[in-house]
């Protein structure tokens, strides 16, 4: 999955989730 292959896997779940949400928002706002 995307979360398990990203470099943030070793960070806390909350932080990695926030980064993932930020990434999704960035993709949607630039599309």
Q: What is the pTM of this model?
A: 0.45
Q: For the chain, what is the domain count?
A: 1
Q: Are 6 and 16 in contact (CB under 8 A)?
A: yes
Residue 8, burial from CB neighbour count under 10 angstroms (0-12, 13-18, 19+):
middle
Q: Are 3 and 16 in contact (CB under 8 A)?
A: yes
Whole domain around residue 17: which residue ranges?
1-31
In the chain, the largest separation of any two C-alpha atoms, in whole Å, equals 29
| CA–CA separation, 5 and 26 (whole Å) | 19
**Mean pLDDT throughout 11-26?**
84
**Mean pLDDT throughout 16-25?**
89
1 pLDDT more than 50 = no
């Amino acid at each position: 999955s995307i979360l398990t292959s990203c470099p943030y896997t070793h960070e806390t779940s909350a932080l990695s989730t926030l980064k993932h949400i930020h990434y999704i928002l960035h993709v949607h706002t630039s599309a």
